[in-house]
A and B are shown apart, each in its own frame.
Chain A
Amino acid sequence: MADKNGFFDLSKTTLSRRTALKGIAAGAGLALAPGFVRYSQAQSSAPIKIGFQSHRTGIGAAYGRWYEKTSTAAVKAINDAGGISGRKVELVIEDDGTDPARGAEVVAKFAKQHKTDIVFGTLFSHVVIGSAPAAGENKIPYFVVSEGHHVASTKLNRYVFQPGITDVKSQIQSMAPWIAANAGKKVTQIFPDFAFGYDHRDYLPPALKAQGADVIAQIAIPPTESSFTKYFPQIPAETEVIYHVMVGPAVLTFVKELGEFYGSNRPQLFGFIDSLEAVDINSPGLEFLDGSHFWEGSPRYAQPDDSAAQKAYRAAVGIDDNGAAVGDPKDVSTAAHMFGCWETLYVVKKAMEDAGYKGPEDRAKLVEATEALKEFAEGTEHPQGPKTFNGKIHQCFGIQNISKVEGGKLKVVHKTKIEDGLYEPEGDYTTQAL
């Protein structure tokens, strides 16, 4: 190969003593720069630093942006009310690129470089699963808002908590009776071919079976897929309900192509709003969804029976009655999930105050104090609704909403009860050493 300019000729790049000295001096200067000054020990007046692992880039970026908005609003509300144990709270944000390897690096960076008190974060299940070992190794509590069953499965470690959003297994179990009774008994599942999809693949069939309904086909689709028509012939003709949980930027295509394939003569549709988070339900091509049903953690559209706490939460985060950013109706939020960030930060506040948390040396106490929590009452701190918390599996359980697409809006038609979603714990984190 021609290397006319000598790009790869190492002999041309000689390192002189002067260059080396310059480099060392610059390095020393950087180390002395203000950003590197650290508290030798956490002082009672120093702010509590929460490392926020955010999907700023990658396929989760729309979620990341709204998780940041919600968390910033929650931190502001907490600080305005006096902070945690009288100390201000400060978010330190790092981008995980919606990538598991990068996620683990970010957790380690929070522990070692930023020296944050805890790590808080992210949605995508593969990132959480990839990051959890780093949290365990660094013995830093890691509070996630991920929705997956991985935390409650007790396959992660004692430092990982999910106290702000119900896990998928519980969601499915609580909604299965409604699906079997109202949508249909022969269900075809379409899900993304990775961890989050597998939760649906594994837990829906037994949950429906218990209600006398059956999953007759399961179609896994690679998360990077951009065209879906080719999968639709696998949907059996006798299907009464298509249960879809797609994620990623191509979900609009999924719905549109499903519409083109079936036309008006379609089976019932039941989906997780994950498919359409941050997407305007009135986008061209989505008319096909009219009359279909969705799971929502927290309703995107303001409902007539919204509590005062829900209204205050929406105002604080800055979303209007349609779940879009105030002042920009095109900027649709990830309302069904992001409430979990708000609630998790309040759980952190409660646990830190219970533990008498002073600094990183108290992290073990914080873990134990979190495990001791039992329930969270509905209110300003928990606007989505009341929840119970199981300290053995580090997972909370709350109510779920089933919403119908009607006149270009999502209207809640059914709310599950907490008891509907409880299941036998699969293990016990508290037996693990701290």
Chain B
Amino acid sequence: MYYLGIDVGGTFTDVAIMNDNGGIKISKVESTPQDPSAAVINGIKDVALSLGKSDEEFLSELSYIAHGTTVATNAMLERKGAKVGLITTKGFEDTMFIQRCQGLVSGLREDEIRHFSERYLPDPIVPKTLVRGITERIDYKGSVVVPLEEDEARRAVKDLVRQGVEAIAVSFLWSFKNPEHEQHLSKIISQEAPGIMISLSSYVCPVIREYERTATTVLNAYLSPSVTKYVNRLKKKLDENGLKGFVSVLNSSGGVLLPEEAGKRGVSLIGSGPSGGVLASQFLGGLLGHKNIITTDMGGTSFDASIIADGSPTLANNVSISKYLIHAPAIDVTVIGSGGGSIARVEEGKLKVGPESAGSDPGPVCYGQGGKEPTVTDADVVLGMIDPDYFLAGKKTLNKELAEQAIREKIAEPLGMEVTRAASAIRRVVNIQMAELIRTLVFSKGFDPRDFVVYGYGGAGPTHCASYGSELGVRSIIVPLAAPALSATGLVSADLVHVIEKSDRLQTPIGFEAASDFIDADYVTQSFEALEEQLRNILKSEGVEEQDMSFNRSAYFRYRRQINELSVPVQTGKLVPHHIDSWVDDFETMYEKLYGKGTGFREAGIEIVTFRVEGSGRIPKPVWRKYDRAVGDASKAIIDEKDVFFWNTSNTPTKVYDGAMLGYGHALDGPAIIRQTDTTVVVGPTQKAYVDEYHNVVIS
């Protein structure tokens, strides 16, 4: 059997295929932004061809396809989501405009927050003219204070439909406590506009805090139609081609969703693209004994970084997306640049690189697709770091002359430099910039980069990571096997994980004796079991057998009147009163461990505010392959030697190695260029590299 991971990026669609022995094969095809599913099919065909199988034969041998997509992310960034109408409680129509006062600063770095004159509100996703307040009100107990005014609601729906909305978001106050009004309105919408996408806050995000819940629900309405359109088209194509296994879509928190579910929860796919690479890094780090990893994914149009500390990716519950604060658990991945497509230019006699990007269309000048602005990739080509005849394993030929001409005219001449020197300057500026941004990111989490290793992947990561990695002063720099398609590889390694949360409010009074006198263990059991039942059904529908399912419960505790809570892992099964009491002790122990002895304040009372269950379905999968020690030394892999311009050493004789001929135990000195399938590893003049037992390149 085969296991397939597909990661659709802005420029390329990566495919990673693993067989039962853990052997990995990757392929890259050009993305097809108009219809991303076409690239997926192309990638599958490409892999089938390389295995010498027909498409049908290959698809019938596929156990599953796990799939990461930037459909949602792109729709958000390019503001190409659906036309959305928002229906909310009358009197609260401005919630998405007031944004709890966070619209100017949400998601900004501190240095950006300090520059007051350069802070802007986001363009509204739903303009005021498409927001409708409806007479209805539910209070904190979930009791109806004012019933839903049905005629008014129907008029609002009709009016929005007349204005051509493609999706309707509904977010009423306290709907997570009592979803009655939202569900009623949902029926009305279905009657008035059958088939329209409906995003209910009580379904998408049943947690307290109306701004975050509304923003999440609105974004979900904005993004889901694009996701649905995309997954339907993809599934149809795969089914026609004879797929027997199932397809799943990775979400931002590292779990996967079935296509149907993904179409209802578009917002949870926003970080889908980058989270695959982080999962793979975590997995690989486990094999290599790396607990602290800075993952860097440098592709044609983006540069993403994340931090794995003590073996776990850093997570965020509240994520800022285009300055809206949404509640959607996600692996914390930060976009810090625009990758190989970053445009270089001269401003006031100074060389600037990025953040503008040539994207994939027209792309860098060397693509010959009409791009006029020189990019980082053009500089790599001019310097010979990327071989123009061997780009994407020779599938695409790059035009070095065009790249040279653009750099000469736009950079070298204005700066009065030679072309190679100018190209080298572009590389140096972008590498230092990336290093600084990564440094800030690492520091902002309270870490020191010197305690970390860098994993460099994505199409351009291996070409640059030796340079930004050494700027950062990290312990070592790893170019993983399958680096150009690491996210896709991570998808193959992922288990099915779903998380369901539910807000509640169970509390003790001030100065209580035993928490179980006030918090009913049976009620808690039922609450958890209800969530587990939902998860079990989802997993079942994904084909997971009961024995492969596992559930982890946690309860969010806090002292009463606190806003932030601690997640306390709790036991599964039926609960009895002394469980509850012991949780309170666990909470207090955790609290004092975090904040110091004597800081606990039980006298204030405690409360449980959220139940959370994580359900995982184990997927049978192969382990990564370990290779035997290679015979001989690296010199037999040398295929060329040429002068390459490095910033500090100018023209330097540099050996070029064929990556396919390097094996476990081979060591080499920089400067060197290692040509691999779909990427090039650059080792700097003063660096050394060797190949480890998983065929990763380790640079120090």
- Specify whether A and B are partners: no
